[in-house]
Structure 1
Amino acid sequence: MATDSENLRNRLDRATAHLDPPYAVVDLGAFDANAAALVGLAGDKPLRVASKSVRSRELIARTLARPGWHSVMAFTLPEAIWLVRSGISADVLVAYPTVDRGALAELGADPVLAAAITLMVDDPDQLDFCDAVSPSGRRAELRICLDLDASWRLLNGRLHVGVRRSPVHSARAAGRLAATVARRPGFRLVGLMSYEAQIAGLGDAPPGRAALGTAIRLAQRGSYRELLVRRSAAVAAVREHADLEFVNGGGTGSVAATRADPAVTEITAGSGLYGPTLFDAYRAWRPTPAAFFACGVVRRPTPDLATVLGGGWIASGSADRSRLPRPWLPAGLSLLGAEGAGEVQTPLTGAPAAHLRIGDRVWFRHAKSGELCERVNELHLVDGDQVVATVPTYRGEGRAFL
């Protein structure tokens, strides 16, 4: 009897037999199941789709058409403008501060865009930059969201658990910045965001590293308890100066935990739609793998090795093996430690390598979600054992935002 992995490989091979590798596919059954599961984890709190984790307008729109998903978190202002103008969403939060002068000028000159897009701010100098591009009296009012740093700082800040994002860490600092925004003409404070990357973006069960997993889980529990108190205080401090429309938090790895925070009104998720390999190290919820890319076998350097053309689609972040793509199908293949995943060729070892023939496909999973789309112009959408549509990625539409 065929295993689940064999059935998946056979199904993907049949669906894409007419295609020449390399190419990428999204299994719609798994994609839709992941979207539904995230809604279940979020409960009564609506979800923003993180566009950087999808990078295809058609699949962003497919997600937003589902109950429970309501808006977009973009990663650049030009991208947000494009998504609004193309009708994908009329509610786009830009997750990072911007210094794109052309995009800021376009935003300020168009009241429709200004009403749909919210900018991220964590420093008064960013407001000054906006005014320098387009003075407040000569542009539309700009919607502003404050970025509250969600990292856990211990020992008077000497120990930092989390990522380096906003300088606004305390409730007092959030209140001061809120007061500054509220006093400034041409800006309207509408939201607060805090992304707990040390919980949402860090797997708590790294394979083969039990001690590290225990340490991560202890740190995550402590960080979560601290953030519950601090985020609530920050929201209260900010609300003294503005009527907030939303308080955003979380990510794929923390949807259920973030849902339990009463200060949060909405949750962001995106990576869980594709289910990349970094999320295999999570205990709370593991998405079903939905995005794959195929490379063709072009060499047999030894009877026990098979080499595919390309394959070196490395993910961003700390440069270690966790950022390498993983040969997934046929099951049992692995990269060579001395070569890894190469720019133009990737040799593979493992029992199945001896049975691969020239022209066979090897299916890989990327370590992260949206970055896969920077390598291909299109995604082939598979339903069952058929390609039912082919849709462009951002790259395929000539849009390279970062």
Structure 2
Amino acid sequence: MTLIGAPPQVTTDQHARLERATAALTAPFACVDVDAFDANATDLARRAAGMPIRVASKSIRVRALVARALDHSPAFRGILALTLPEALWLAESGSTDIVVGYPSADLPALARLVRTGADVTVMVDDVEQLDLIARAGATRRNPVRVCLELDVSLRLFGGRVHLGVRRSPLHTPAQVVALAEEVLRRPELRLVGLMGYEAQIAGLGNRIAGRPIFSALIRGMQRVSAPELEERRTETVDRVRALTPLEFVNGGGTGSIETTRKAPNVTEVSAGSGLFAPGLFDAYTAFRPTPAAFFALPVVRRPAPGMVTALGGGYTASGPLRPDRLPIPTYPRGLRFDPLEGPGEAQTPLRGRAADALRIGDRVWLRHAKAGELCERFERVHLVSGDRVVDEVPTYRGEGQCFL
């Protein structure tokens, strides 16, 4: 019942290591293979080829692992946060150079930002958002750093076809320039950056198992989208820089590093999911990260030959209701969901030849379809290196934080 199969990097050796390392733990639990995490960080840096990588914290949601990525190499610089409260919390704990990837309508949080002067940049794409910042108390003496977001989706046939996510309303260079001019008229604001997230390239797998024609269509769309975006983003950046200097121009994601880093005027890329390598990243042609984040469920029933039932497991990913949003049964190899039940809140039946070798109390290992969402299900994550647990660290949830 899953469209994505485990990639070659998922090995029986990793399975054996995880089992040995966590033998004393009681499932369910989450763990991160930090050897794989570090290997993925190294590969992201290689793919970025010298361009700085801003760590997308929503794809990790574990402060210790965000710090691990930033400490990995000079390639990783700064944080791309999900919400303003998250950014302020990270700043209070010592993080710097934080950009909030989405606009905020949280007036108390904006007021805290003004009051504390935290090293946080907020995203804007509408005059009403600027008005909210003014209402929060921003002044010439306490200006708020802002970043404009360019909609980098692909629009065809006069806009009747929209390929990409629905983010900023600023699609044309003229629209971005108009808002930039408005920001510059307001002394309580400082325009420091420009962002454009090409989700139709960075966040869309183009090698989906069992769907070769659809995969080919996606690759074709991405080939059309990349040059259109390069021309439009280049003009936008040039026109905004003619008005004021910019500290950064952010683009891309784990799935588009190779193309984004070559774009004129882009100064940094963002990545986070590639460190965990969740299930959706099995469907890319340009790179193959090593799965690093897992959750283990205990086998509690053997209801029929060729079937076991695990406790819990209904950790589906956000997005459209499709099979690729389900977790990926990974270890032991050869398990699949029961098509009539799938992964459930209370139980998850699993079918396959491997089921007959499992006994009550054994574990089945799964990967979430997305990255950081896994950490909303667990208060802590066990870090595995080699064949031992080397640390246990809290998730955001384990630190009492639930931002979104």
TM-score by length of 2: 0.96
Alpha-carbon deviations, 1:252-304, whole Å to 9, x = none? Answer: 00011101112200000000000000000000012100000000000011122
Structure 1 stretches lacking a partner, 5+ long? none
Task: Look up the match of 1:91.
Answer: 97
- C-alpha contact (below 8 Å) 1:5/1:331 kept by paired residues: no
CA distance in 1, matches of 2:278, 2:241: 37
Distance 2:177 2:111 in 1: 28
- Counterpart selection for 2:128 from 109, 125, 130: 125
Partners of 1:241 and 1:90 in 2: how far apart?
Answer: 27
What do residues 148-192 of structure 1 show as CA deviations (whole Å, max 9, x unaligned)? 001011110001110100000001111111101011120000000
Which residue in the other structure is 1:74 paired with? 81
Give yes or no for contact 2:121–2:146 (8 Å, CA) kept in 1: yes
Question: Is 1:158–2:164 an aligned residue pair?
Answer: no
- CA shift, 1:136, in A, is 2.6
Residues 1-400 of structure 1 aligned to structure 2 (within 5 Å): 5-67=11-73, 68-87=75-94, 89-111=95-117, 113=118, 116-136=119-139, 140-400=142-402
d(CA) in 1 for partners of 2:14 and 2:48?
Answer: 29
By how many angstroms is 1:93 displaced? 0.2
Whole-angstrom CA distance in 2 between matches of 1:52 and 1:241: 32
- What stretches of structure 2 of length at least 5 have no aligned partner? 1-8
Structure 2: how far apart are the matches of 1:293 and 1:306? 17
Cα offset for 1:4? 6.5
Q: Structure 2 CA distance, aligned partners of 1:72 and 1:381?
A: 22
Q: Which amino acid aligns with 1:140?
A: N
- Deviation, structure 1 residue 7: 1.9
Aligned residue for 2:27, secondary structure, equals: coil
What amino acid maps onto 1:10 in structure 2?
A
| AA matched with 2:40 | N
Q: AA paired with 1:42?
A: A
CA RMSD in angstroms, aligned pairs only: 1.1
Secondary structure in structure 1 of the residue aligned to 2:381 = strand
CA contact (8 A) 1:110 1:140 kept: no
Determine if contact 1:5/1:330 at 8 Å carries over to the other structure: no
Q: Percent identity?
A: 55
Please list the CA deviations of residues 192-246 of structure 1 after superposition, one character each: whole Å capped at 9, or x if unmatched.
0000000000001111111001100010010001000000000011112221000
Give distance in 2, aligned partners of 1:101 and 1:20.
43
> What secondary structure does 2:304 align onto?
coil
Query: Following the alignment from structure 2 to structure 1, what is the Cα–Cα distance between the partners of residues 116 and 305?
Result: 63
Partner of 2:195, secondary structure, is: strand
* 1:135 to partner: Cα distance: 4.8
Deviation at 1:36, TM superposition (A): 0.7
State the TM-score, normalized to the length of structure 1. 0.97
SS of the residue 2:11 aligns to: helix
Q: Is the 8 A contact 2:138 2:189 kept in 1?
A: no
* Contact kept in structure 1, 2:138 and 2:144, CA below 8 Å: no
| Structure 1 contact 376–396 (Cα < 8 Å) conserved | yes
Give, in whole Å, the separation in 2 of the partners of 1:49 and 1:159: 31
Taking a change above 3 Å as real, the CA distance of residues 91 and 100 of structure 1, as seen in their structure-2 partners, is same
Q: In the aligned structure 1, how far is the partner of 2:146 from the partner of 2:10?
A: 48
Q: Secondary structure at the match of 2:210?
A: coil
Q: Structure 1 residues 117, 351: CA separation in 2 closer, same or farther (over 3 Å shift)?
A: same
Q: Is the 8 A contact 1:147 1:192 kept in 2?
A: yes
The structural deviation recorded for 1:69 is: 0.3
Number of positions where the alignment pairs a residue of Structure 1 with one of Structure 2: 395
- Deviation, 1:8, is 1.7
Cα deviation for residue 354 of structure 1 reads 1.3
After superposition, give the CA deviation of every residue in 1:38-69 in whole Å (9 maximum; x if it has no partner): 01101121000000000000000010012200
Looking at structure 1, the residues matched to 226 and 304 of structure 2 have their Cα atoms a distance apart, in angstroms, of 51
SS in 1 for 2:266: coil
Q: 1:331 is paired with a residue of what secondary structure?
A: coil
Distance 2:319 2:205 in 1: 14
Task: Supply the distance in 1 between the matched residues of 2:277 and 2:379 (Cα, whole angstroms).
Answer: 20
Question: Could you tell me how far 1:81 is from its partner in structure 2?
Answer: 0.7
